[in-house]
Amino acid sequence: MRPEYPRSLHEFRKLFADEAACRLYLARSRWPEGVRCPRCKHHEALELPTRRLWRCRACGYDTSVTAGTVLHRTRVPLTQWFWAAYLVATQTPGFSALQLQRQLGIRRYETAWAMLQKLRRAMVRPDRELLKERVEVDETYIGGPEAGLRGGRQVGDKAIVVGAVEVRGRASGRVRLQVVPDVSARSLTGFVRANVAHGAVILTDAWGGYAPLSEMGYRHRSRTQGDPRRASKILPRIHRVFGNLKTWLRGTHHGVGHTHLQAYLDEFTFRFNRRRVPMAAFQTLLGLGSQQQPTTYKQLYNRRRVPMAAFQTLLGLGSQQQPTTYKQLYGVESTG
């Protein structure tokens, strides 16, 4: 039986109950097919738990299971890092350093803040694979004082955000969001070119800024919205994204300054695009992703209904029963 996907922090904490469980997870991430010495390729090693190292039984070479991850040389217990990454990967709205400190019982606020910064760094660059097939594109206004604006055309202190989302039947695929200086053709088509693959069908309203798209290798379909209240009917998915984004920004970051808005958009995008596979988000945050096969678009979206299977595939666990001890996994005893 495959273990259930952890649906709560409580379940997650049971799965990663102690340092040994976390170290085992790291070892599995590093060696999906069992331990293998990078120097002599021998497949037996002895764990040195306090140093988070594995020592080759043939040649004595030490391999670190945390190298290349945010966990390298940290004094913070692995359990706390794992919980923090889980919270950041799955919580909506996002987590503040103060919440993290309280939730995990971290003694110093500065420690919680630094952990959060490190985890957030992994969210700055969302996946680079271009959106494809059918994509809705629209702009919206964010931030600034809500009151005192008359009519829908005034920008005031608001920032302009352009967004694109893939059409997947009635649902949405991946999203991209970007702050733009204006709604000119240059800004809008520049965003599309940077984020959507050639040949895609682009669905927009009738705003002239999108008109050049058909000459740029896209199949452009624009529709007149007439009454602005109908906009959500013409482009329902991107309007849902904008609605969720605004709710999140209002709830978590009261009055977002323009300076940091793009970082918040990236964070929202990171979570949104991995909402069906939070475990993949969790791994990316910890920096584990680079150690195994990259998470491709196909892996993410062909398996969206079975996140645990996707999680296990990413770890290379296949359909095997989940090993429970070091001995079952590697045929050696842990010294700790």
Judged by CB under 5 A, the chain residues 61 through 80 that form the site for Zn ion are: 61
Residue closer to Zn ion by CB (options 39, 258) is: 39
Q: Among all chains, which residue has been given the structure tokens 């469980």? A: 21
Q: Which amino acid is at 112?
A: A
**46 is an interface residue for Zn ion by CB under 5 A:** no
Annotate 217-230 with b (16+ C-beta within 10 A) or e (fewer): ebebebeebeeeee
Size of the site for Zn ion (CB under 5 A): 8
Q: Give the 3-state secondary structure of residue 160.
A: strand
* Cβ-based nearer residue to Zn ion, 46 or 277: 46
Length of the chain counted residue by residue = 336
User: In the complex, what is the shortest distance from the CB of residue 36 to Zn ion, in angstroms, rounded to a whole number?
Assistant: 9
Looking at the Cβ atoms of 61 and 207, the one nearer to Zn ion is 61
Query: For residue 55, which of 71, 72, 42 has the smallest C-alpha distance?
Result: 42
Nearer to Zn ion, 37 or 78 (CB): 37
Report which of 38, 30, 58, 31 is spatially closest to residue 46, judged by C-alpha positions. 58
d(CA 85, CA 82): 5
For the chain, give me the number of helices (H) and strands (E)?
A: 13, 8
Could you say which residues in the range 21-40 bind Zn ion, by CB under 5 A?
37, 39-40
**Min separation Cβ 173 and Zn ion, Å:** 44
What does the per-residue mask of binding to Zn ion show for 234-253, with x meaning CB under 5 A? Answer: --------------------
- Least distance from Zn ion to the Cβ atom of residue 38, Å: 8
Residues of the shown chain interacting with Zn ion in the complex, contacts defined by CB under 5 A: 37, 39-40, 42, 56, 58-59, 61
